[in-house]
A and B are shown apart, each in its own frame.
Chain A
Amino acid sequence: MNALMTNTYPVTAADYTSAGRASADIKRKLKQLGVSGDVLRRVAVASYEVELNLVIHSLGGELSLSVYPDRVQLVSSDVGPGIPDLSLAMREGWSTANDEARSLGFGAGMGLPNMKRNADDFDIQSEVGKGTVITMGFRLA
């Protein structure tokens, strides 16, 4: 099924000033579409986490929001560096965030587990030197 709407947001690596803008716009759009309650909360959390992940860990990339009649999909794709050990990265509390990110209160190692917990379906593909693609789906009630 084709998406009824797709919006793509470029996300710049280490740009902490703009961090959170894409997810704020995603939330606003979903509210205008009438998405509410639990689904909105879960998309809000996951989109913020994934956007911050792009800022903190990637070399840059983009976040896209697609809306289907029965579901919302978030796709984050970046241009590297890629994750060497996915099972380690998915572990709660494990983080490779640098000192700058940690000084801003990030790096608790909850990003990916939090996304997985909040999405109805979660998929992550990563290749070192190429990049990471995270796809998350949320069913609309």
Chain B
Amino acid sequence: MPEQTRYHSVRLDKDRCRGCTNCLQHCPTEAIRVRGGRAHIIDTLCIDCGECIRICDYHAKVAVTDTLEDIRRFKYRIALPAPTLYGQFRGLRKPEYVLEALKQVGFDDVFEVARGADVVTRAIRERLRDKSIPRPVISSACPAVVRLIQVRFPELLEHVIDIRQPMEVAASIARGEFCKKNGCKPEEVGCFFITPCPAKMTAIRRPLGQEKSELDGAISMMEIYGLLMPHIDKMQSNPDFEPATRYGVAWATSDGEANAVSPERSLSVDGIPNVIRVLEEVENDKLRDLEYLEGNACIGGCVGGALVFENNYVAKAAIRQMVSAMPQQHPDASVPVSMLTKYPVKNDRPFEPSAALRLDENLVVALQKMNRMNQILERLPGYDCGSCGSPTCKAFAEDIVRGFVKSEMDCVHLMKNKLRIMAQDMVTLAQSTIDLGGNHHESE
């Protein structure tokens, strides 16, 4: 069983894990196994979506993020809140109030990731002029979806847009502007994303499409929520504040990005199982007429992230209400085209396909393994109960072939059957040897 070696924000707290099977069947990439009484996460399959964090009753699945202590290693600190943060406070009328509150809890400056989303919207719209990118072009904003494509749909990677995520673009601009204004060095400035999900944290430590992230860390929205609360109502507005557009703020919710990028010919889908179904359609070449596809791992979009406080539907409504009061200006008008060359907006490396699904590098060996898998599968009951520690009978058969499981007898149903046969054999044996017992009376 390969243990986690690459960086993942989603981890297991071994002491809390009871070895139940709740997380097994909720993991969309079947990345969890229960062995030896506790869960294990398979490194190459985990996409850091956070489903297991939501489902675990024992809080044994955790997301590792930075703490407010961690920001102190920088002389200057900038907070970069995801627009999802605005949906966490009921009745919040302007993003500004939250931004000012962030300055009260240890940050020197604040830069809206929604402004990054504005620049990214403009950059994507420019990039879509290139008709050689296969359609539909797929958003790269949700790192869990990009990793899902790497693992399960590697042949669709050429559809994924090579423009950076809003948080990355926002961090470049924030650092650049801060250094210019305050005359300090870039390395003195720490940029911290206020994150709704573990996938973004992983994307900072193990970037997608970039050699190095522009961010220095991420603080969980859940952690900062309580600290911000007391500072929210009191704040005065800041006259220097340059707000993001309503389109940038709407990236927090499903369809926000698609609507900003290509309102006429886009599709947005949320929730990993739904995203998988739509990607299957793309794979079957059934969505060729579509220009742009936005996929979010979480229901409702980022407002549904595993590290947010507010109910995702409530947060979505709050964002919509806030956005409806903002001016009708599209990023095409608010973001000058010069912005796209002033700061890096394009990826500097391709998205790498993952070989995690492959049974073997050699086709013939892989076929032998698959044939063995199918033979094992025929003997299994097909209950997909998870008692063996694998999420489904199919996964169990695969685990045997991959050598993660030693014996088919880890299946309790096969074991029970075997015991029944053994018991019958013992009875038969006992009956057939009864004459040798000496412990009985001869019939007369």
Q: Which residues from chain A sit less than 8 Å from chain B, CB to CB? A: 4-5, 7, 20, 23-24, 27-29, 31-34, 36-38, 40-41, 44-45, 48, 67, 69, 114, 140
CB contacts (< 8 Å) of A114 on chain B: these are: 285
Which of B44-52, B180-188, B366-374, B428-436 lies on the face that meets chain A? B366-374
Contact in complex: B367, A67 (CB < 8 Å)? yes
A41 to B370, CA, bound (A): 21
Extra A-B contacts (9), CB below 8 Å, given A41-B155, A114-B285: A4-B368, A5-B371, A27-B283, A29-B370, A32-B358, A32-B366, A32-B370, A34-B359, A67-B367
From B155, B364, B374, residue with most partner A Cβ within 10 Å:
B155
Q: Which of B152, B155, B285, B370 contacts A33 (CB 8 A)?
A: B370
Q: Which residue of A lies closest to B361 (CB)?
A: A34
A24 to B366, CA, bound (A): 19
Is B353 in contact with chain A by the CB < 8 A criterion?
yes
Contact in complex: A31, B358 (CB < 8 Å)? yes
Contact in complex: B363, A69 (CB < 8 Å)? yes
A34 to B364, CA, bound (A): 10
Contact in complex: B370, A48 (CB < 8 Å)? no
Contact in complex: A33, B363 (CB < 8 Å)? yes
A–B complex contacts, Cβ < 8 Å, 10 sampled: A7-B374, A27-B283, A31-B358, A41-B283, A44-B283, A45-B284, A48-B284, A48-B286, A67-B363, A140-B363
> Could you give, for residues 266-285 of chain B, a 1 whenever the CB lies within 8 Å of some chain A CB and a 0 otherwise?
00000000000000100111
CB contacts (< 8 Å) of B361 on chain A: these are: 34
A44 to B368, CA, bound (A): 22
Contact in complex: B359, A33 (CB < 8 Å)? yes
A69 to B361, CA, bound (A): 13
Within 8 A of A (CB), among B391-420: 398
Shortest CB-to-CB span from B386 to chain A, Å, is 20
A114 to B284, CA, bound (A): 11
Contact in complex: B367, A4 (CB < 8 Å)? yes
Is B154 in contact with chain A by the CB < 8 A criterion?
yes
Q: Which residue of A lies closest to B394 (CB)?
A: A28
Shortest CB-to-CB span from A24 to chain B, Å, is 6
Q: Which of A27, A44, A48, A69 contacts B364 (CB 8 A)?
A: A69
Contact in complex: A45, B285 (CB < 8 Å)? yes
Shortest CB-to-CB span from A50 to chain B, Å, is 11
Q: Is the interface of B mostly helix, strand, loop or mixed?
A: helix
Q: Which residues from chain B sit less than 8 Å from chain A, CB to CB? A: 152, 154-155, 280, 283-286, 353, 355, 357-361, 363-364, 366-368, 370-371, 374, 398
A67 to B370, CA, bound (A): 11
- Please name the 6 residue pairs, one residue from A and one from B, whose CB atoms are nearest each other, closest first: A48-B284, A34-B358, A4-B367, A33-B366, A45-B285, A31-B357
Contact in complex: B358, A37 (CB < 8 Å)? no
Q: Which residue of A lies closest to B156 (CB)?
A: A41
Contact in complex: A24, B370 (CB < 8 Å)? no
Shortest CB-to-CB span from B318 to chain A, Å, is 36
Shortest CB-to-CB span from B413 to chain A, Å, is 23
Shortest CB-to-CB span from B30 to chain A, Å, is 12
CB contacts (< 8 Å) of B360 on chain A: these are: 34
A68 to B284, CA, bound (A): 23
CB contacts (< 8 Å) of A48 on chain B: these are: 284, 286
Shortest CB-to-CB span from B94 to chain A, Å, is 44
A42 to B359, CA, bound (A): 21
Q: Which residue of A lies closest to B367 (CB)?
A: A4
Shortest CB-to-CB span from A30 to chain B, Å, is 10
A40 to B359, CA, bound (A): 16
Shortest CB-to-CB span from A48 to chain B, Å, is 4
Contact in complex: B284, A44 (CB < 8 Å)? yes
Q: Which of A4, A29, A32, A36 contacts B353 (CB 8 A)?
A: A36
A27 to B283, CA, bound (A): 9
A32 to B372, CA, bound (A): 13
Q: Which residue of B lies closest to A44 (CB)?
A: B283
A129 to B355, CA, bound (A): 46
Q: Which residue of B lies closest to A49 (CB)?
A: B284
A33 to B367, CA, bound (A): 7
Contact in complex: B358, A33 (CB < 8 Å)? yes
Q: Which residue of A lies closest to B286 (CB)?
A: A48
Contact in complex: B284, A23 (CB < 8 Å)? yes
A118 to B274, CA, bound (A): 27
Q: Which residue of A lies closest to B157 (CB)?
A: A37
A93 to B371, CA, bound (A): 40
Q: Which of A5, A28, A31 contacts B367 (CB 8 A)?
A: A5
A98 to B208, CA, bound (A): 46
Contact in complex: B154, A36 (CB < 8 Å)? yes
Shortest CB-to-CB span from B149 to chain A, Å, is 12
Contact in complex: A40, B364 (CB < 8 Å)? no
CB contacts (< 8 Å) of B368 on chain A: these are: 4
Q: Which residue of B lies closest to A37 (CB)?
A: B155
CB contacts (< 8 Å) of A7 on chain B: these are: 374
Contact in complex: B155, A40 (CB < 8 Å)? yes
CB contacts (< 8 Å) of B398 on chain A: these are: 32
